Structure 1
């Protein structure tokens, strides 16, 4: 078998880092947890980061709800991860004794929601500072669990059914532990579902309504028994801060402000002097260098970088700095172009133990550091935290460039064989579909728009300078999404667009569109979908909300795009279009008329028989590929008249998420998926599908592969939902 060398592309970095911890034994080492990309470790004070997901195989293991190093055993780290699918939450606990270099699963009885509505709240794992081998974790529905052997064995410890938001041992009182819970209102509003009833939002996220009250529980015996200390309607306990010298002082971050207690959490008053109320706060952090000083920040709704401080243990607050300018933020990717961008959705703040003026903040765009008490911040390039969710990758054989479409940003281009990517010029985002003009490599069309309930307009943008500048050439109003774009290789200036949404006959209707002037103007094509179909995808809620999305019920985000439309490379006017659950269709007259081209494909065999891609072989006339969730890769030698399976389940399901072909080399990326119970795989065949080799880079963990391409040099370029872009280099000939 041939050897392959994998390299993660440098992508400018950035992604939602939801938690951060300093190593208690080495202040240069930091641990960062992410909602989609697993864990990262920095050995140089946050200047550079390395992925630490080696050996993990399931998608939920990259959705990390807690990442906590032991305060007493060097190298010991616990990792809690989980997700929600199928109407339930689930998860696992992993243990590392080598700073996260390798992980061992130790428990699957506790559920966590590392990429859910509470992903940015406090840690749900806490080591006991007075009993070094004892540790507690809090589940989303499974209650509290304890281990007395440093995380090897676990057993329930009460509070079953509570939605745990944070678990904190008191740093100054042996045996004293607090656990905060989250009311139903604390999980609403984060997934752009403002027009849905709260109960529906909760159910869609694999949860059950539990009332709007939030609670604070206390234990005096290291978490073995619990007492309800405080309960409040329309409340949540997102994070806690405790004073080692004052057992009665408790500060709580909540969905509607910061609260202060001076009686051990029995009663609370909201901190209204200098802090905006009715904003969500995810953390409060005690300054270890200055008694009485704490820092916090609202999640949304405040300007600039809204870190606030108190010098009197929470009585009065003030902004750390009134106004920031662009000069106050340095060494960030292009999309962090203003202080307000950096300050949006701050999820954690960690003080340096030895440097009083240094602390770190985390948020949507990586880890930032300040060395002057918050007057200025640096992202240090976000080097190594390539946590971008990508939809598709396109290799242009003419120019040698590679293009990727991120689910949260504008497209990006690589001109160095996939080692680094540069974002397009500022424009509409997110992106999902992209096509390069085969007769003019500078001509690029791409789609933009988020398919969520309150953000639905879709746009086609056009660039004539390789993405440096762009303009909107077509807007589809309402519930629309640019599913795919394709350029005709045989007819100059001809492009096709596949639009998801309502098939309502209006000018902005979903369906297929064609441009004959390089994307400047568009007209709607008839068909190919039956008259009984009124919406694309036909099974939208199942496919885009449950089966494929990055976040359950965050419609479309990184569900895979740009793969259901293909132009025949050798027959002018021949076009293929697929629908996830309906079939594959062919037109021989540039979309004027259509007929089915899916005889023998596994549509309808079961609910998982969902089409993921259609690809025409660029070198072999009449050869066509179709990939399915759970049912492998299929091939036609007669332009879709008949099909045979070339990568079959073996014996379990195979998710053929995306395929690329060049010469006799085939590459198939397989997304790990809860519904099919399948691991991440990258399968390569050097003999036209006769045999297969799995070259998935296990050191990167359970990468959620979404797209693949092969460049003229034979390199494999694969993109993922969460872990960015990768390039695999083939071994040189012997």
Structure 2
């Protein structure tokens, strides 16, 4: 498939009907996708038995994607999602009585055993083209121990839909997802619910124990009266449960480290299947339709850790053991430059699904994409085209060459495109010494004003050496890098801000969060990173900048005034005085600062995005004025036009804790915040985090998102997108 820019022509619903604030008038624009295919966790794959070639893949942050050509290409199907939690999708089922009706379990919860993050049931009546939110349930969809387990939906023969949730027990719906009633298990961490194809009142519910919650024990439970009473069939913790479609008596219980249990009498009796020595625990254990009695097991670890048995465990076969023979990569995918290496060779097999029409076709979901086999698992081809699952920290456009675009991402580091976003690669792929180090979280990139080939880059965290940061410089557009972090606390400390005080990037400031031994601070270099020192006194002690991208960037400068947003308030420093002083104490009391912005073209001006709107100062922080409308609550990103400081864009995100008064989207003002218009048809409302204005064209805006990749909006000030150049 030719990897071309895709247009997102359809608008997304954002729940405006339930919002109290009146929405801003819309500004027509055209959306273009930057082709950063894949890059995020695929935890569930669903094949449509009614339509040949139709497949859905579900992500922990990228929502739902659909393929109509067997996985060769994908299109995002998130119209109607308006909170970040909607984009963590755990399961999807197709109504057996109406193939156009889909029901999805959505939610997003890191460390799911500690916190309850509200999820929902989403219902589509048009094959996924649009979605509507139904009853709020406990459907967290991201984070251990939830990744790959739980939050499951299942239709009974009589049309009743059951939902097994992480934290809110078992529910049922008599009308395919529109209305719900509680069944039980409010104290359990459920991992699946299976209905019996021969008896609508016969149910199986599996639960797993939680490592930090002894009150939530695992087990397998059976009801023969539609959930009124239950009998415990297994004491063990069950992380996944499967029934053979060709023989309803056969069941598989994945008990993690305790192995695989098999029953051939609907769960009355069980026996452990023998496994190979290296098969110590499992993500998924499933029967394969069309290959009776084949059983597949996916084992955690990097590489094609897929096994099957045709004799109930007496022997296990690993069909794709030789990576170089088994794995195939599209030539235009960035991973093709690192075939069979770390992060690219089937990074953790979380899901395995079978094509009901072709027993040789198998789909696998890993940490970055969907893989497809057409020969029973001996060979797999990566299928990333069109999948938007990357978390993007920053998009930077080369000030000399408009076709050169850099993108900083979580997990996979810095990417570069030289064709306007049609294709991307790691620019450092030939740098054997440093290149692999930068396939991590890279957060801030600066291009020198004096030479566009000179780059400065912060690495927030090194996945190969956890909680180690780094500062790097390149003199050749990113092909080769030097690490220059001397003087910066690197262990257990995050670099979350970077600004330049000189055109050649010799003078730089970096925000370092600090660790248990060293307080967070802003560090200064006068020699391009050769050495770093604390810039100025006056900042409070402690960890100052958090440890995640929700607080970035937290450094800004107009060249003279320097600002930093810490966990203990906003501070200002005159470059000539080098003394930090707190500002905005009254304006930001009780508010969480999400981002700050300053530009050399607007001396003494500071823009501050908070969880309760946008504020602007025109006197270097002495006073602030609210510059946002009702509904613009979670201001997460700001881009100011360097040619007109009264014109700026604001990204309003929608984390789980925001109220329905918050109307997510991207807003534009041309009169200093008096009036706003909201960009139309944004692909992924609530997910916009970081904004970059194209230095070559003020009507081109780049958007980095929290899980659906990077996008470009082409805006027309007169309201007609066709006239935008």
Distance across 2 between alignment mates of 1:76 and 1:613: 40
* Range 516-525 or range 357-366, more displaced: 516-525
Distance across 1 between alignment mates of 2:458 and 2:270: 49
Shift of 1:60: 0.9
**1:145-186 Cα distance to aligned partner (Å, 9 max, x none):** 11122222211122222111112234566544321101013x
Distance across 2 between alignment mates of 1:502 and 1:174: 56
Q: Is the 1:671–1:706 Cα contact (8 Å) retained in structure 2?
A: no
Counterpart of 1:581 in structure 2 is: 568
Q: Aligned residues, how many?
A: 669
Q: Does 1:37 align with 2:48?
A: no
SS of the residue 1:374 aligns to: coil
Distance across 2 between alignment mates of 1:454 and 1:14: 20
Q: Please, which of 50, 53, 59 is the counterpart of residue 28 of structure 1? A: 53
Q: Is the 1:50–1:384 Cα contact (8 Å) retained in structure 2?
A: yes
CA, structure 1 residues 402+324, in 2 after alignment: closer, same or farther (shift >3 Å)? Answer: closer
Distance across 2 between alignment mates of 1:326 and 1:688: 59
Distance across 2 between alignment mates of 1:494 and 1:103: 50
* Range 413-422 or range 718-727, more displaced: 413-422
SS of the residue 2:491 aligns to: coil
Counterpart of 1:725 in structure 2 is: 710
Distance across 1 between alignment mates of 2:460 and 2:603: 34
Provide structure 1 residue ranges, at least 5 long, that are not aligned to the other structure. Answer: 186-198, 200-207, 541-554
Counterpart of 2:472 in structure 1 is: 461
Q: Please, which of 98, 101, 108 is the counterpart of residue 129 of structure 2? A: 101
Counterpart of 2:266 in structure 1 is: 264
Q: Please, which of 489, 496, 510 is the counterpart of residue 483 of structure 1? A: 496
Counterpart of 1:146 in structure 2 is: 172
CA, structure 1 residues 653+588, in 2 after alignment: closer, same or farther (shift >3 Å)? Answer: same
Any residues of structure 2 matched to 1:1-12 within 5 Å, and which? 2-12=27-37
Any residues of structure 2 matched to 1:692-703 within 5 Å, and which? 692-695=676-679, 697-703=681-687
Counterpart of 1:610 in structure 2 is: 592
Distance across 2 between alignment mates of 1:140 and 1:529: 42
Shift of 1:138: 0.8
Distance across 1 between alignment mates of 2:155 and 2:639: 51
SS of the residue 2:141 aligns to: coil
Distance across 2 between alignment mates of 1:177 and 1:314: 27
Question: Over the residues paired in the alignment, what is the CA RMSD in angstroms?
Answer: 2.7
Q: Please, which of 375, 379, 384 is the counterpart of residue 376 of structure 1? A: 379
Distance across 1 between alignment mates of 2:33 and 2:603: 34
CA, structure 1 residues 65+10, in 2 after alignment: closer, same or farther (shift >3 Å)? Answer: same
Q: Is the 1:718–1:725 Cα contact (8 Å) retained in structure 2?
A: yes
Distance across 2 between alignment mates of 1:593 and 1:447: 23
Shift of 1:503: 7.8
Distance across 2 between alignment mates of 1:462 and 1:492: 9
* Range 616-625 or range 266-275, more displaced: 266-275
CA, structure 1 residues 42+244, in 2 after alignment: closer, same or farther (shift >3 Å)? Answer: closer
Shift of 1:416: 4.1
Counterpart of 1:670 in structure 2 is: 652
* Range 724-733 or range 313-322, more displaced: 313-322
SS of the residue 1:559 aligns to: helix
Counterpart of 1:163 in structure 2 is: 189
Q: Please, which of 559, 580, 589 is the counterpart of residue 550 of structure 2? A: 559
Q: Does 1:342 align with 2:345?
A: yes
Counterpart of 2:531 in structure 1 is: 521
Q: Please, which of 622, 628, 633 is the counterpart of residue 654 of structure 1? A: 633
Q: Does 1:121 align with 2:170?
A: no
CA, structure 1 residues 696+390, in 2 after alignment: closer, same or farther (shift >3 Å)? Answer: farther
Any residues of structure 2 matched to 1:500-519 within 5 Å, and which? 500-502=513-515, 504=517, 510-519=520-529
Shift of 1:683: 0.8
SS of the residue 1:657 aligns to: strand
CA, structure 1 residues 28+104, in 2 after alignment: closer, same or farther (shift >3 Å)? Answer: same
CA, structure 1 residues 601+694, in 2 after alignment: closer, same or farther (shift >3 Å)? Answer: farther
CA, structure 1 residues 659+601, in 2 after alignment: closer, same or farther (shift >3 Å)? Answer: farther
Q: Is the 1:271–1:314 Cα contact (8 Å) retained in structure 2?
A: yes
Q: Does 1:357 align with 2:360?
A: yes
Q: Does 1:644 align with 2:625?
A: yes
Q: Is the 2:399–2:452 Cα contact (8 Å) retained in structure 1?
A: no
Distance across 2 between alignment mates of 1:321 and 1:660: 47
Shift of 1:244: 4.2
Q: Does 1:635 align with 2:616?
A: yes
Distance across 1 between alignment mates of 2:571 and 2:173: 53
* Range 437-446 or range 310-319, more displaced: 310-319
Any residues of structure 2 matched to 1:532-543 within 5 Å, and which? 533-537=541-545, 540=546
Relative to the length of structure 2, the TM-score reads 0.86
